[in-house]
Structure 1
Amino acid sequence: MTTTFRRSSPSALGIDAAGVDRLVIALEGAPGVEPHSIMVLRHGEVAAEGWWAPFAADRVHLLYSLSKSFTAAAVGIAVRAGLVDLDATVISHFPELDAEVTDERTRRMRVRHLLAMASGHRTETIERARQLDPTNTVRGFLLLPVDEEPGTVFAYNQPCTYTLGEIVRRVSGTSLLEYLRPRLFEPLGIDDFAWCRDDSGAELGYSGGYTTTDAVAALGQLYLQGGVWNGERLLDQDWVAAATSTRVENPDEANPDWSVGYGFQFWMARHGFRGDGAYGQFCIVLPEQDVVVATTGQSLDMQAVLDAVWEHLLPAIDRPGSTADDERLRARLAGLALPPVVGGPLGDLPDGSASVAGSPSARLGAGLEALHLSHDTDRGWVLTLRDPWGEVVAPVGDGSWAIDGATATSGARDGDELSIDVRFVETPHLLHVRWDLASGTASAAWETEPLHDAASTLHRPAD
């Protein structure tokens, strides 16, 4: 866990705590929004922070596409070191593909175009790239002819970021993680960052990053400070200016905070700029207010999260607060929690165990092959989930969350009907398991579908 930031209070930093309190209430009450953490910085100090149990400050959280902003930082550091030229063509970094890549517009694609999601493609290319080459994403991407001149059209496009990661790996001779560790993570005090890798062993770059909420806040604070940290310049000032201003217009995006331009792996917003990831992972930077907001969650309505920040936090900045409101907010933040499953006690499990296996005629859902329940005097109820990649074994809390490794599990019973929720607490995701003990049938369903994992792989990857 990072320990860089000094802890203060909203009123000491010129924020009305009542506004932050209303923000928290709004996040908890908004349909389609489930917050897991929030951290508000002003002037580089923590004004407010909280985690909804069973999520916790020292636990990493899957960032999804917020990972892109960390990959971009690696490019920015490499630019400062003279290893990468933004105006170099992409193909120049992959000479082994020179003879194969014949499309003239693809050959004119530059590094800066990848950073701005302006490769010239009109739509996402990840699946088409994988179809062209299942083992080499960069090759598949570069063999796809582009639709428009690079730099002229925006399309959110995962292979752009993956290719940036591969460029950094090539010019540095090491992995993204190893490149960033002494140059970004250690200076910022980030001591836990992991990345999902593909079959080649390369970090995804565009997704799959795992880190803590305050690490997200630290990245935002670095950009807010123009690339300087504790007197040391980590990113060039002109890089920060380019990364955090519109490089390509994107007016066709549906939501208002997604249609005001895109920088270098940062979205512009109606207020400031941000990195974000699926299901509500946000790094929001408000330069005019000298504020950074970091959040994690499981939210289907990401626009609603931003709307709540604009409605409740922005008006609270530079508005007089009180120590009494500070204390009320502190108490609320200390008691944040997601409710366990509601119902009667679990009681005894008939015959000591129960199992259900999937079949073509009786599918369990959520990609599972089998479910198993057992009960013993030492551990209580235990749920086992099996999918094609492995097993998850999780004790079940009776009216509470039982935290074990990367899961927090809660169950309740109504006669022979069991309801068990499994939270994968290093990710946004929640699995609902429903079991009819009388009929011996069970089913599982995701609250939010994992984008590149199964139940047994929803945890911080090994370094």
Structure 2
Amino acid sequence: MTALPRSAPSSQATDAHGIVAFLDALDALEAVDGVAGIEPHSVMLLRHGHVIAEAWWSPYSARGLHQLYSLSKSFTSTAAGLAWADKLLDLDAPVLSYFPELDAEVTDPRSRSILVRHIASMSAGHTTEQWNRALDIDHDEPVRGFLLDPPDGTPGVTFAYSQTTTHVLGAIVQRVTGSTLLDYLRPRLLEPLGIDGIDEMFWLQHPPGRDIGFAGLHATTETVARLGQLYLQGGAWEGRQLLAPEWVAEATRTQVDSSNWGGPESDWAQGYGFQFWMSRHGYRGDGACGQLCVVLPEQDAVLAMTGEAEDMQAVLDAAWTHLLPAFDREGSEAADAALAHRLTALQLPFPDGDEVSESEFTAATSVLRKLERIGLTPHTLTLHEQDGTTTTLPLLAGAWPPPTGHLTARATRTAEDTVTVHLQFTQTPHKLLITCDLRTGTFDAQWRTMPLMARSISSLAAVADPGRRQAEWPARRS
């Protein structure tokens, strides 16, 4: 991999005090009214093509893959841009023309009028999220479900953030190219970008063999940063035009009005492009729970982040408040040193307490599907699931152990009768909070933020296994 150049912030006309203030602001965003606070997992900030700040909070790491959720959509857009440049994709063609086997079934003129550019811009005409309705119609072929559910608004005008539109766009790309989205992107984009570990990247699928497009891509933070830098550079990379500049321009400008998504200060109300959100400053790809790729053309900067955050507007507000003023403000070696110190030895927080003793607990409720019993010793946590699956994880005092199967844990006796366990799924934003009662021998489990797809321990922890890469969706409703 060709390494991105690294520089001190001051050498790229950036005051590191602003970066420290941004990180401090994230730390200060605590849980309010049941909404979880901000928990960063990684951050990478580029200025003038140089990495000026980067960090990972243990147990997350630079080489670790992270579920990007809807930030995956921007990669689907990029694949569509490549197919468009190869003349395999026509933005002004009806979606139905790519699925001729459905032509006789899809008779409603509203569905027949949906164009490829409409699904690329979330303006297929449905007024609400349509994914579950598509699955209800045809769980095994959501494209059919999409086309058999006519829009109740106007295609090309009505905006609704709907997973199905991106899924159908990805399905078209995969049909015309004869490969999955990820396989199509590898030689045309990921390899020329110099992305490390591209063979390890994966995308969840539904139906089998089709990358779902709207979520499920697992990639590193630097992969996200490089994609943002490619768009910032108009699709050019090291003297090669990887992505057509015309596509970059169209994808990153307003294609449809999204002002129904909040007031004037909302970064979700600034317009939507081709699988990119417009922002009050620049534009971005983003995914649930805090996955971000913010591109700032005026500042020649890119911010890539992963984490666990329900209030993503607060993250963007902190960036506008602290990072923007730091650009083109004189820095100093002292400020650079303060930032370097701030970014050392970071780890996810965990409550103080005493070492745990050997004990066993059974589930008090069925909050977590399949987990029925856990066993603790001072050095291990063992999880017993209803299907007979047993997972044993090491415990270390004062630190997060290295992940085992993309799963790691900490456990502490936080009160006389209470043991608290944090179970971290290190290829996702999510952790499971397990509270054990020493008096009753029972435990309760609660997600800090609810996973949007698989919700069992075995499916979340083992999703990197090639045999486990199917997204979990509800069964067809009767």
Q: Which residue of the partner structure matches residue 408 of structure 1?
A: 408
Q: Which residue of the partner structure matches residue 472 of structure 2?
A: none
Structure 1 residue 281 corresponds to structure 2 residue 280: no
* Aligned-partner Cα distance in 2 for 1:397–1:92: 57
Q: Which residue of the partner structure matches residue 23 of structure 2?
A: 24
* Aligned-partner Cα distance in 1 for 2:209–2:28: 41
Superposed counterparts of 1:87-106, under 5 Å = 87-106=92-111
- Shift in CA distance, 391/47, structure 1 to aligned 2, threshold 3 Å: same
- Shift in CA distance, 62/390, structure 1 to aligned 2, threshold 3 Å: farther
Aligned partner (choices 299, 307, 310) of residue 300 of structure 1: 310
* Aligned-partner Cα distance in 2 for 1:236–1:385: 51
Q: Tell me, which stretches of 5 or more residues in structure 2 are unaligned?
A: 31-36, 467-478
Q: Over residues 239-276 of structure 1, what are the superposed CA-to-partner deviations in whole Å (9 max), with x where a residue is unaligned?
A: 11010000000111126100010000000000000000
Q: Which residue of the partner structure matches residue 224 of structure 1?
A: 232
Q: Which residue of the partner structure matches residue 358 of structure 2?
A: 349
For 1:55, the aligned partner's letter is Y
Q: Which residue of the partner structure matches residue 344 of structure 2?
A: 334
* Aligned-partner Cα distance in 1 for 2:396–2:275: 40
- Shift in CA distance, 387/103, structure 1 to aligned 2, threshold 3 Å: farther
For 1:423, the aligned partner's letter is Q
* Aligned-partner Cα distance in 1 for 2:202–2:323: 31
Aligned partner (choices 73, 82, 90) of residue 68 of structure 1: 73
| SS at 1:128 equivalent | helix
Kept in 1: contact 2:204–2:217 (CA 8 A): yes
- How far apart are 1:163 and its partner, in Å? 0.7
* Aligned-partner Cα distance in 1 for 2:388–2:187: 33
- How far apart are 1:417 and its partner, in Å? 2.1
Of 450-459 and 98-107, deviating more is 450-459
Q: Over residues 123-162 of structure 1, what are the superposed CA-to-partner deviations in whole Å (9 max), with x where a residue is unaligned?
A: 1100100000011010001100111221011000101111
Superposed counterparts of 1:152-231, under 5 Å = 152-190=157-195, 191-192=197-198, 193-231=201-239
Q: TM-score, length-normalised on structure 2? A: 0.91
* Aligned-partner Cα distance in 2 for 1:260–1:121: 20
Q: Over residues 74-99 of structure 1, what are the superposed CA-to-partner deviations in whole Å (9 max), with x where a residue is unaligned?
A: 00000111111111110000000000
Aligned partner (choices 369, 377, 399) of residue 367 of structure 1: 369
Structure 1 residue 135 corresponds to structure 2 residue 140: yes
Aligned partner (choices 109, 126, 129) of residue 114 of structure 2: 109
* Aligned-partner Cα distance in 2 for 1:20–1:385: 43
Aligned partner (choices 64, 86, 102) of residue 91 of structure 2: 86
Superposed counterparts of 1:443-454, under 5 Å = 443-454=444-455
Kept in 2: contact 1:341–1:400 (CA 8 A): no
* Aligned-partner Cα distance in 2 for 1:64–1:287: 24
* Aligned-partner Cα distance in 2 for 1:146–1:423: 40
- Shift in CA distance, 222/125, structure 1 to aligned 2, threshold 3 Å: same
- Shift in CA distance, 74/389, structure 1 to aligned 2, threshold 3 Å: farther
Q: Tell me, which stretches of 5 or more residues in structure 1 are unaligned?
A: none
Aligned-pair identity in percent equals 47
Of 412-421 and 264-273, deviating more is 412-421
For 2:358, the aligned partner's letter is L
| SS at 1:304 equivalent | helix
For 2:422, the aligned partner's letter is D
* Aligned-partner Cα distance in 1 for 2:387–2:132: 22
Kept in 2: contact 1:387–1:456 (CA 8 A): no
| SS at 2:305 equivalent | strand
RMSD (CA atoms):
1.7
- Shift in CA distance, 287/420, structure 1 to aligned 2, threshold 3 Å: same
Give aligned pairs, total: 451
* Aligned-partner Cα distance in 2 for 1:404–1:156: 35
For 1:209, the aligned partner's letter is L
Q: TM-score, length-normalised on structure 1? A: 0.94
Aligned partner (choices 328, 331, 345) of residue 318 of structure 1: 328
